[in-house]
């Protein structure tokens, strides 16, 4: 973990950067989709997987009818030349919940392509961000250069944020955001081994310096441990069948690539829905490799105490197991009293630091869903620090 980054503006007045070309608001992204252009990020292969109607309409400007394409929207060499990385979900909802404004300090624990951070910075707040992925950090730092005085990115797992922020001299947060899971870049980059649609090494590490890879699990774990992993991490109903097939196949040839595993699963579990039969196995492996549930639990346990009174905690999750963890933790952290059958009377809850802002998870609206199918599974929950 590197903490070399210094955040000079943390203890200083906010510096409002000039409106950069890369700092276009979310609504411009939506507009850009609607007019059929993909204006400043270039193209994404993940878009092909996510957009059933095809990506062609996103990557070129509408024809002028005379065969000549229109000039680019922005001059070459501008920050829009950054390749596509990730399209943030529930952007307006995040802003509504966090209410970023000058003088506020917001923690973004999943910086990714920097989309949410950029929107928060545009509102005049300062952002201290983390990501465990070096590629995400490099990309977002480049994108957010115009905000150098009010933005800092630190490498690390958000489960370790108390240590990382303490070392960076940061405390007293007005808002915290985590938007968990993989980015579109993870799925696009075959060499990272996250996608069952592209051939790559069976890796799946977000932090490429961590030890365990997906190949280690499928090639060395006992059959019953693989079965339990598939069931517990992804509620895979075919867990036993897949675990048995993995162990049989690896005796002949170890698994080294994503397609080798995905094709084997498709062979033993014929497709029954629109989803690829390997979807849950890949999710289960990814969660184990990156210890995603444990990281989420650790983060949620520590987060409330880092918020100022009235500060807000926002979590975006992408599948039911994660959302359940958030829902149950928030329920516990917002219950003033605890009760158990063996207790004569309810007791005060020492972990009660929050007030629920969302009783039900917030989901993407129809416009966002039509523009970004990945938002389909996104669930946002928010709670506020009590005084
Ligand atoms: C869905 S993307 C976030 C996208 C981001 N909100 C944006 O606007 O571009 C998730 C990012 O979180 C990172 N990540 C996931 N789990 C993490 C963890 N436990 N600690 C730090 N980073 C994590 C991933 O590497 C990835 O870059």
Structural domain includes residue 326: yes
Q: In this predicted structure, what is the pLDDT of residue 33? A: 36
- Cα(128) to ligand 1 centroid in Å equals 14
284 with 297, same domain: the answer is no
- Cα(206) to ligand 1 centroid in Å equals 9
174 with 301, same domain: the answer is yes
Q: In this predicted structure, what is the pLDDT of residue 329? A: 98
- Cα(69) to ligand 1 centroid in Å equals 36
Domain count, the chain: 3
Domain-terminating residue out of 17, 49, 81: 81
Q: In this predicted structure, what is the pLDDT of residue 367? A: 96
Q: In this predicted structure, what is the pLDDT of residue 53? A: 22
- Cα(252) to ligand 1 centroid in Å equals 36
Structural domain includes residue 202: no
Q: Report d(CA 322, CA 358) in Å as an integer.
A: 16
375 with 320, same domain: the answer is yes
Which residue's C-alpha comes closest to atom 2 of ligand 1?
183
Whether 236 contacts 281, CB under 8 Å: yes
Q: In this predicted structure, what is the pLDDT of residue 80? A: 54
Atom of ligand 1 nearest to the CA of 113: 9
Give me the DSSP letters along 310-362: EEEEEEEESSHHHHHHHHHHHHHHT-SEE--TTSSS-EE-TT--EEES-SS-B
Q: In this predicted structure, what is the pLDDT of residue 274? A: 84
Which residue's C-alpha comes closest to atom 12 of ligand 1?
110
369 with 318, same domain: the answer is yes
Identify the CA nearest to 165 among candidates 150, 175, 180, 155.
155
Structural domain includes residue 298: yes
297 with 285, same domain: the answer is no
103 with 160, same domain: the answer is yes
Q: Report d(CA 351, CA 165) in Å as an integer.
A: 21
97 with 180, same domain: the answer is yes
65 with 107, same domain: the answer is no
Residue whose CB lies within 8 A of the most ligand 1 atoms, among 82, 194, 206, for a mutation test: 206
- Cα(375) to ligand 1 centroid in Å equals 15
Q: In this predicted structure, what is the pLDDT of residue 36? A: 26
Beta strands in the chain (DSSP E): 105-108, 126-131, 151-155, 173-179, 307-317, 337-338, 347-348, 354-356, 379-385
Q: In this predicted structure, what is the pLDDT of residue 166? A: 96
Per the structure, the complete domain to which residue 132 belongs is given by 91-184+293-385
70 with 117, same domain: the answer is no
- CATH code, 264: 1.10.150.170
pTM of the model: 0.82
Residues with CB under 6 A from ligand 1: 86, 88, 109-110, 112-116, 130-133, 136, 157-159, 179-181, 183, 206, 295
Q: In this predicted structure, what is the pLDDT of residue 35? A: 27
- Cα(159) to ligand 1 centroid in Å equals 12
Q: Could you list the pLDDT tens digit for every one of the 387 residues in the chain?
A: 444 444 444 433 332 333 222 333 443 444 333 322 222 223 334 333 332 222 222 222 223 333 333 333 333 444 457 889 999 999 999 999 999 999 999 999 999 999 999 999 999 999 999 999 999 999 999 999 999 999 999 999 999 999 999 999 998 999 999 999 999 999 999 999 999 999 999 999 999 999 999 999 999 999 999 999 999 999 999 999 999 999 999 999 999 999 999 999 999 998 888 889 999 999 999 999 999 999 999 999 999 999 999 999 999 999 999 999 999 999 999 999 999 999 999 999 999 999 999 999 999 999 999 999 989 999 999 999 998
Q: Report d(CA 214, CA 283) in Å as an integer.
A: 11
């Amino acid at each position: 973990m590197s903490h070399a980054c210094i955040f000079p503006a943390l203890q200083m007045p906010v510096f409002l950067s000039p409106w950069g070309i890369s700092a276009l608001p979310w609504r411009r992204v939506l507009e850009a989709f609607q007019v059929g252009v993909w204006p400043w990020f270039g193209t994404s292969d993940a878009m092909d997987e996510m957009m059933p109607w095809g990506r062609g309409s996103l990557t070129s400007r509408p024809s002028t009818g005379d065969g000549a394409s229109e000039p680019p929207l922005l001059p070459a060499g501008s920050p829009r030349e950054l390749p596509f990385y990730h399209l943030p979900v529930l952007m307006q909802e995040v802003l509504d919940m966090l209410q970023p404004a000058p003088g506020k300090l917001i923690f973004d624990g999943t910086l990714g392509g920097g989309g949410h951070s950029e929107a928060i910075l545009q509102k005049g707040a300062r952002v201290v961000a983390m990501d465990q992925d070096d590629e995400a950090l490099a990309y977002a730092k480049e994108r957010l250069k115009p905000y150098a005085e009010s933005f800092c990115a630190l490498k690390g797992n958000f489960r370790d944020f108390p240590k990382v922020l303490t070392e960076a001299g940061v405390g007293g947060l007005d808002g915290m955001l985590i938007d968990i899971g993989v980015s579109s870049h993870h799925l696009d980059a075959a060499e990272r081994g996250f996608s069952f649609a592209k051939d790559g090494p069976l890796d799946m590490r977000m932090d490429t310096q961590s030890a365990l890879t997906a190949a280690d699990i499928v090639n060395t774990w006992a059959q019953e441990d693989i079965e339990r992993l598939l069931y517990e991490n992804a509620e895979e109903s075919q867990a036993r069948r897949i675990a048995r097939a993995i162990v049989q196949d690896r005796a002949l040839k170890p698994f080294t690539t994503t397609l080798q595993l995905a094709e084997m699963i498709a062979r033993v579990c014929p497709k029954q829905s629109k989803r690829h039969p390997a979807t849950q196995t890949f999710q289960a492996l990814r969660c184990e490799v990156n210890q995603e549930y444990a990281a989420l639990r650790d983060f949620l346990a520590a987060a409330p105490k880092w918020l100022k009174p009235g500060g807000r905690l926002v979590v975006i999750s992408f599948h039911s197991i994660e959302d359940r963890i958030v829902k149950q933790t928030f329920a516990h952290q917002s219950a003033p009293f605890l009760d158990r059958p063996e207790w004569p009377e309810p007791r005060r809850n020492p972990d009660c630091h929050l007030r629920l802002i969302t009783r039900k998870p917030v989901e993407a609206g129809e416009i966002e869903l039509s523009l970004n199918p990945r938002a389909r599974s996104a669930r946002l929950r928010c709670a506020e620090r009590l005084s």
